[in-house]
Structure 1
């Protein structure tokens, strides 16, 4: 989605993973990452893996320092949120230029990971864990 605010163009995308939802906004700028009002490094606990996962679409397209990323995320844990940010960022980059879509799609960054927690079944302790069997 494309909106304008203070004569700046804002590109947005939504990403989901497990219970996490991330709303990503791209604004032309210097390349800073802000997640829920905090710098991205501190929000993701200075984990290089989470930072790498979150910014993968920008790295693939070579747009590392061209856009500021503002993210509102909630639900789940850091792994799900990092993956949700990656999907939302990829979708926002597709709104900027349709040629970006082909590169991101070939890398598999536009595919939503549909694996979620399986529901608990009655008679079982968890989704699949059965009570211990006792022969006598």
Structure 2
């Protein structure tokens, strides 16, 4: 009998705690709502090394909260503080490390410095995550 009381008490505690955590998440979300925006940009690249280089260049911009480049689609999704970072700034940062986008062509010098496996304009096919090439 005592075990059942303890078990039900523990379940009740966990149930209440889960609502408290959810409420805290909603409050945190409400505080940041309207303070960030999502910017999307098509960026050329072919592998995990490209992904790391692209994401690192964008993370270095002040005001960037989150960045993710999808190798398959080439879409770069960046969450930034509202009115702190523009799509053009993101495109320029990516171009400076050798990757072209819809808004800025890669700097020739930066493109020439890319490893051979990352030279997307030279006919290199997408590789890395799926074929076991796997460098990052």
- Both structures adopt the same fold (TM-score exceeding 0.5): no
Higher helix fraction (1 or 2): 2
Higher strand fraction (1 or 2): 1
Specify the structure having the higher radius of gyration (Cα): 2
Higher relative contact order (CA 8 A, sep 6+): 1
